[in-house]
Structure 1
Amino acid sequence: MPVHRPRTTTGRTRIGVAGILLAALSLLFTLPSAAHAAGKPARGSAYMGIGVAAHEGHGKKTSVSPLSVTQTEGVDVSSHQGNVAWSTLWNSGVRWAYTKATEGTYYTNPYFAQQYNGSYNVGMIRGAYHFATPNTTSGATQADYFVNHGGGWSKDGKTLPGTLDIEWNPYGAACYGKSQSGMVSWIRSFLNEYKYRTGRDAVIYTSTSWWTQCTGNYSGFASYDPLWVARYSFTAGTLPAGWSYYTMWQYTDSGPTVGDHDKFNGALDRVQALANG
C-alpha cells in the first residue's frame, strides 16, 4: 500500500507566497494615491462643506444681499487651517466659531485644542462639529465618539451645542448607501444620543438639496434642532422642510481670511442665548 506523505513547502511555493504578500502590501500603500487620482479625499480629511462644494459648486461670494435682521459673523475650521490666527479673525469682526472635532469613529482633529480653545480665549463663542459617516457605524456610536473627543457642552455662556455635519458623501455614494428612511433613523439615533449625553439638542448642518435627496425632505427634526444651512450664494434660498428660518448660514467656502464664513441669524445676544440653552 503506498504511503501518502504530507506535501513539503518548496522553494517555489515560499517565493510565491512572499510574492503575494509583497503585492498585497504594495497595493495597500498605493490605495490612497489611487483614491486621490480618482478624486476622492483621504479618510478623515473631510470638512464642513466638502460635499456641498463638490455637488453644488464652490462658493466665491464674500458678501450677501441685504438681510432684514442683524447677522453675526462666524467661521468654521478644520485641520486644513492648522493653527488659526484667532486675534486676526476677532479684529475682522468674527464673533463665533465652530471647529471640527471628529469624523466617524476613526478620526480626531489634531489641531482641535488650538482651534477650539484659541477661539474661546480671544472672546469668541465656540462650538465643535462632527463629520458624519453613516455607512461606517451607528448614529449613537458616532455621537458618543464625538462627545468623548471634544463635542460636549457646558453652560459657561461661551460654548455652543455640538453640530452634526451631514452632507454629500465625499468618499462614495451620495447618501452613504442608505434609503431615505434609513438615513432619517441614523440621524435620529445620533441626535437622541447627543441629547442624552449633553442635555442639548444638536445643530444640524446640511444643504437643502442633500436633505431632500437623502432624507426625502424629512421635517421631523425642525422643532428641536437648529438648522445650519449651506448655500454659497447671496441668499440662503429654500430651506429644508420644517424649518421656517435658519439659525446659521454657511454662505461661502472661500472666506476672505480663513476657513468658511457663516452668518448667525441674529445679533450677538442671540448667539449667547443658544450657547446658554
Structure 2
Amino acid sequence: MANNATVQGIDVSHYQGTVNWTAVKNAGIGYAFAKATDGNTYVDTQFQTNWAGIKAAGLLRGAYHFYESNDDPVTQANNFIKTVGSLATGDLPPVIDIEAYKGDFGSTTLVANVQTWLNTVEQALGCTPMIYTGPSFWNQYMNNSFSRYALWVAQYGVTQPKLPNGWSKWTFWQNSESGTVAGVTGNVDTDIFAGSMADLQAFARNK
C-alpha cells in the first residue's frame, strides 16, 4: 500500500446519540465502525440505527464488540453474532475491542478466551475478525500469537502508533478520541485506514 494513501473514518456508540450519516459522508469520511455489544448481554441502544444508517449513506461499515475479560467468551460471541445477524458483501470484518482486564473467566486465561471469541465469531459469520487494542494493554496481558488478525490500534498524540507484540503493521489506527466531524454532536473517535479507498473496498470484500 502506498504510504501516503489513507482513508478517514470514525467509530461510534450510543454516546454519540443520533448521527447524521449523510453529513458524515459529505465531510469526507469513508467508513464507520459502530458498537454492537458489550459482555454477555448488553446491546448498544444505537447499534441498529447506526448499522442501517451507515450503509444507507454509502459508507463502509463495521461492527465491534467490547470484550469483558471475566465473562464467558462464547456467550459474548453469541451476543455479538445475534445482534449483527449476518454480514453483507462489502461490510468490514467484525471487531473484538480488547482493552480492559477484570480477571479471567473460569480457569482459562485471557489469551485463550479471546481466541475462543475469535473462533466462534469467525465460524458463525464466515469472516476473519479484527482486533482493536492499545499497545500497552496488549503487551501487558496478551501475547504475539494473533498476527493472522488485522490490527486496529489505538494510540493518541503520536505521529505513528506503536505496534503491539505480534504485528508488523496496522490496518486501522484510532488516532483521536476527541475528533470533530460534521453530523456528529460532540467529540468522536477518528480513525485512519492504511491504504486507498480501493484497498479498503478490497479489504471489506476479502472476507
Q: Does the TM-score normalized on the shorter chain lie above 0.5? A: yes
Look up the match of 1:165. 97
TM-align CA RMSD: 1.6
Look up the match of 1:196. 123
**Structure 2 counterpart SS, 1:164:** strand
The reply to whether residue 115 of structure 1 matches residue 39 of structure 2 is: no
Q: 1:269 aligns with which of 198, 201, 204?
A: 198
What is the rounded CA distance, in whole Å, between the counterparts of 2:204 and 2:151 in structure 1? 15
Look up the match of 1:239. 163
Q: How does 1:62-141 map to 2 (within 5 A)?
A: 68-137=3-72, 139-141=73-75
What is the rounded CA distance, in whole Å, between the counterparts of 2:35 and 2:21 in structure 1? 15
Aligned residues: 198
Q: 1:260 aligns with which of 182, 186, 189?
A: 189
Decide which moves more: 108-117 or 247-256. Answer: 108-117
Structure that is richer in helix per residue: 1
In the alignment, structure 1 segments of 5+ residues that lack a partner are: 1-66, 169-174
Q: 1:153 aligns with which of 87, 96, 102?
A: 87
CA contact (8 A) 2:3 2:195 kept: no
What is the rounded CA distance, in whole Å, between the counterparts of 1:232 and 1:87 in structure 2? 27
Structure that is richer in strand per residue: 2
What is the rounded CA distance, in whole Å, between the counterparts of 1:118 and 1:151 in structure 2? 16
Q: How does 1:23-42 map to 2 (within 5 A)?
A: none
* Higher Rg of the two aligned structures: 1
- Sequence identity (%): 37
Q: 2:136 aligns with which of 181, 190, 209?
A: 209
Look up the match of 1:220. 145
In the alignment, structure 2 segments of 5+ residues that lack a partner are: none
- The one-letter code matched in structure 2 to 1:203 is M
What is the rounded CA distance, in whole Å, between the counterparts of 1:141 and 1:236 in structure 2? 35
What is the rounded CA distance, in whole Å, between the counterparts of 1:151 and 1:212 in structure 2? 32
Decide which moves more: 96-105 or 143-152. Answer: 143-152
With normalisation by structure 2, the TM-score equals 0.90
**Structure 2 counterpart SS, 1:210:** helix
With normalisation by structure 1, the TM-score equals 0.68
Look up the match of 1:27. none
What is the rounded CA distance, in whole Å, between the counterparts of 2:13 and 2:161 in structure 1? 26
